[in-house]
Each structure stands twice: as structure tokens, then as C-alpha cells.
Structure 1
């Protein structure tokens, strides 16, 4: 795992890695320091990690909240994302 310059964020990233999340450092010209993604393939379980957030302690807490909110192996996977179903007309079916 890559070292984050802030110790609180680095500790939160260690928690994420221990929970099975992938920590990926961005390139040298990227806006974000890196990203984290869950290891179960959930579409909504990812987060951008910033190198210099306004409040590093809050950013570390956000990382931990995101990791703990992951539904785990029994949750929705990449294939079953939340999509809005739009009907073709304004009339109810059968009328």
C-alpha cells in the first residue's frame, strides 16, 4: 500500500486495505492522491482520496464510513445497479 502524507488518512487507508479494499495511488499529475474500491465489485463502493483535504481528520472518517457501509459479499454486485425504470407513456398499463 502506498504511503499517504497524512497519518490519519494513512491509518484509514490501512483499515480499508485490511477490509479487502484496493488502494490505488494516482499518477503524478492527477487531481486526487488516489482511489479506494471494495474487493466485491460493488459499483457504489469507491472513493477518491485527496492528498491535501481541508480537514484531514474528517476525510479519514469519511473513508472509514465508506468502508464500513459496504454491503460485503452478499450485497448488490456490479451487474445489479440501481436503475430508474421509465415507462413509455403517461397512461397506466392496460388503458
Structure 2
């Protein structure tokens, strides 16, 4: 792992889940710990916007933020299409 670990263990676990599914995790940025980027970079995904989610360093509820990040990753339309067509193994 070439990135710093997130200080909240729930969020770090969600980031590792994202990485296992091919998402890129980048630490740094203004006002945030970092961002996660969808591996498909598909214009049709997420209502016409590319899949990018902000990872906060000190969210009010780390557990809720971790679940929200996992939900973004798991609900990626492009990933679902690939998985349903048999193109991706988990």
C-alpha cells in the first residue's frame, strides 16, 4: 500500500474494500483526507458524472461515512454491468 492509512479504522476498512474492487484512493487535497476514483471512468455512471467520492478526515460519524463510501463503491453502475455480464470476479 503506497498511501497513508486513514486514522479512523472504519473508514480505512472501506478504503481497502474500494481498492480491492479496483478503485484508486488518493490521499491529500484541500479540506479533505482524500478522494476515491472509479476504475471505469465511465460517463454513464452516476447520472453522467464520473465516480469520485470525497473521503473526510474527521467526519462527525466515522461509521456512517464509512458506510456511505462503501455504498458509493458497491452501487457503481459500471461495476454492476461488468459483474452481471461475467466480466469481473470478486
TM-score by length of 1: 0.70
Q: CA deviation at 1:10?
A: 0.1
CA-to-partner distance for each residue in 1:1-43, whole Å, 9 max, x for gaps? 430000000000000000110000014xx20000001000033
Over aligned residue pairs, what C-alpha RMSD do you find?
1.6
Structure with the higher helix share, 1 or 2: 2
Q: 5+ residue gaps in structure 2? A: 43-48, 83-90
Count of matched residue pairs: 73
Of 49, 54, 57, the residue aligned with 1:51 is: 57
* Partner SS, residue 12 of structure 1: helix
Calculate the TM-score normalised by the size of structure 2: 0.74
Partner of 1:36: 36
Larger radius of gyration: 1
Which string of whole-angstrom CA distances, capped at 9 and with x for unpartnered residues, describes residues 19-71 of structure 1? Answer: 110000014xx200000010000333110000000000000000000001101
Q: Match of 1:4?
A: 6
**Aligned position for 1:24:** 26
